[in-house]
Structure 1
C-alpha cells in the first residue's frame, strides 16, 4: 500500500529544503501540553541513497510530513541510527520531536524580569529570548488571546529550562495552553511554524467530528485512575535567601468530593524556582482542579480516510457508542488533546489513536 505521507527534510534554521525521502514503519504523535514524536526507518538500498541520507544531520535538520496538501506534522530530527541486519540490508532509524521540544534544550542564561505582564506575552518573550541570539530556529507567533497578568523573575545561573518555565506558568490558574503548529504559508506556499496559544484552552475549528461505534471507532478505553488523583493539594516552592525552609502554599481541599464520600487523598508538587506564596497557591488550586478524584483520559482508535484526517488536535469530537458497557448508549463530546498516527503499510491500515478530554457545559451531551 502506498503511503499518503510525504516526508520533506529541510535545514532547521533556514528552512531551506534538503530532500524528500521515503519512510518505512512511520508512526507519529502530537499533543497539547507536551512535545510529540516521530519514529520511522529510512531504507538505504544503495550508495546513492546512502549519500542522500547522509545529508540529514541530527540536531540541525527539520522534517515535515505532508498528507495531500496538508502539512500535518513538523519537528526536529534528534537521532539517526544506521544499522545493518543479518541479510545485509542497511537502514537508518530516525527519531524526531515536534518543534516545541527545542524549549527543552534551552536554558535561561540571562536575568529576565516580567512585571505585571500577560502570561502569554511572557511565553512569547521567552521564545524571543531563545531566538534572538545566533542559533534560533525561526518559530513565528500567532496572535494571542488575553491571558493572566503575572510577575516573575528568572535568574541567570539558575539554569532554568525554558520548557520548565513555560510549564510552571501554564500550571497556574486559570492556565493556558500553547504548541508550535506547522502550516503552509498562504502567501508563499512554504512550510512554516508558529506558536499557537489558547487561554485557558486551545480550541481549533468550529464544527464537530462525529465518530460512531459500530462504525468509525475500532477500539476504546476509558481508564479511571485514582492513584493519580486526590482531594487535597499543596505546592512547595524554593527556599529564599536567608531562609531555612521552602515557601509552601496553603492546603487546598476538594471539599465537595469529600462530602460526596471520597476519602482524603493528598497530592503535592515541587516548584524549586518559585518563591512567591500567591503563585504557589495558584499552582496548588490548578493542580487540584486537574486531579480532583479519579483521573480519566479516554482514548479511541479510529480509521483514517479522505474525510477523517490526522489534523484533529484541539478539535471537538462527538462519540456515539452503543455496546454492552455503554448501555443504553454514550453520546458525549470531547476535545482532542493528543493524536497518535500509524501510517498504512502492506497489510496494515492507516489508523489514529485519539486522547480525549471531556467537555463541560452546553457542548457536553448526556447519554441516551
Structure 2
C-alpha cells in the first residue's frame, strides 16, 4: 500500500486566509461523534550546523523554521489548522496551546496542542436568555451554533468562525423529536456544554463538524446533526485472517466498570423559592439496571449534574440515558486498521463497517459495527500511519 502524504496548513480562524504550511512532526489527532477531538504535534527548528538525518541545518533553513514557529506561536487561539491526508482534509481545529522551548545547543522545539472546531463552542458563554418551546432537537443544536457565531438578532459576528450550520436550519434534517429548553445568561453556561447535554438525554441528537475541501479547493466546516449519524449498510470491510494478515492490524477490547453502574440519578438546579427558605436541587427518579441486578451485580451508583435544568421530566431523560450508556462494565473496542483504498475517512464516523476476524480470540467472526471515534498517528519519515477506530460496543 502506498504511504499517505500528510500536510499541515495554518490559516486565520475568522477569514481562513492562508498563513503557512507547517513542517510538523510527531502528529497525532482524534475525532469523535458528539465530543471534541484533539491534536498534538511538534515543530522543530534545529540549531545552525546541526545534522538531521544526514542534512546539516543552514542559517536560511533555521531562519525559515524559526519564522514558522513564531507565526504558530503568535496565532495560538486565533488560527485554524487543517490536516490534509493526500488531497482530503482528515482533521480541522484550533491550536489552543503553543509552547516553544530552546535547548542548550540552541535548537528550538515547539509543542502544539489543539482541538477540533467544536471546541470553540466550549469557549463561548451564553450572552442572552433563550427560550426554546417545542423545537426540533436537531435544529435546536443548529440554532445554538448560529447564536454563538452572531447570526441571531443583534449578534456579534466576530464570533463567526465559519461553521456552516444551516442558516435558519434549512440544511439540518428534522428529527421529529421536540424539546423545550430554557437557557439563562445569568447561569453563564458554555454553548458547548449545552449542545453536549442536549445530546445526552435519551434519544438525544448526535453532532459532528465535518471538515472537507470542495472541487475549487475551498475548505469547509459543516455542522451535521442527526438522531443517529451515519449510514446503516457497511461501505468498508476490514479483515483479519488466522496468520495475522489483512487490514486489521491490532485490536483491543475494554470492559470498564469504573464509570459504570446499576443505579442512576440526574440532579438539576434548585427551584426558585423564598429568600428565607433553603431549597434543595431537583432530583430525577432513581433508575435501576434490573437485568444486571438480577444477574448478581451489586449496587453501583452513577449520578450527574445538569446545570439549568429545573424539570423532573428532563432529568428523568438524562437518568435514562445514563442507564442506557453506562450500565455495568461498559464495553468498547479499538481496532488499528489499514485504510488503504477502502474509501474510509473521519467524515464517515458513524457509518457502519464490516469486520471479518479469524484469530486466537475471534473464531470466524463476521460483524457489522459502528465506529464512533478515531485516533490517527500521521505517517512521516520512519513512522507508519496508524488509524485506530473505536466502536461503541465490544466487537
Matched, 1:225 2:256: yes
Q: What stretches of structure 1 of length at least 5 have no aligned partner?
A: none
Q: Is the 8 A contact 1:304 1:350 kept in 2?
A: no
Shift of 1:195: 0.6
Q: TM-score, normalised by structure 1?
A: 0.90
SS in 1 for 2:325: helix
After superposition, where does 1:92-131 map in structure 2 within 5 Å?
92-131=110-149
Match of 2:389 among 354, 359, 363: 354
Distance 2:105 2:250 in 1: 37
After superposition, where does 1:196-235 map in structure 2 within 5 Å?
196-199=224-227, 201-204=228-231, 206-213=233-240, 214=244, 215-235=246-266
Distance 1:167 1:313 in 2: 17
Match of 1:134 among 157, 166, 171: 157
Structure 1 window deviating more from structure 2 (93-102 vs 53-62): it is 53-62
Q: What stretches of structure 2 of length at least 5 have no aligned partner?
A: 46-60, 151-155
SS in 2 for 1:275: coil
Give the match for residue 62 of structure 1.
80
Distance 1:2 1:323 in 2: 27
Distance 1:230 1:324 in 2: 31
Q: Is the 8 A contact 1:310 1:339 kept in 2?
A: no
Distance 1:13 1:246, change over 3 A: same
In the alignment of these two chains, the number of paired residues is 357
Distance 1:52 1:226, change over 3 A: closer
Shift of 1:307: 4.1
After superposition, where does 1:1-368 map in structure 2 within 5 Å?
4-44=5-45, 45-56=61-72, 57-132=75-150, 133-135=156-158, 136-141=160-165, 143-147=171-175, 148-186=177-215, 188-199=216-227, 201-204=228-231, 206-213=233-240, 214=244, 215-242=246-273, 244-307=279-342, 309-311=344-346, 312-326=348-362, 328-358=363-393
Distance 1:37 1:229 in 2: 25
Distance 1:2 1:224 in 2: 34
Distance 2:370 2:88 in 1: 21
SS in 2 for 1:297: strand
Residues 237-274 of structure 1: per-residue CA shift (max 9 Å, x gap): 11011161111111122223333443333221111321
Q: Is the 8 A contact 2:142 2:165 kept in 1?
A: yes
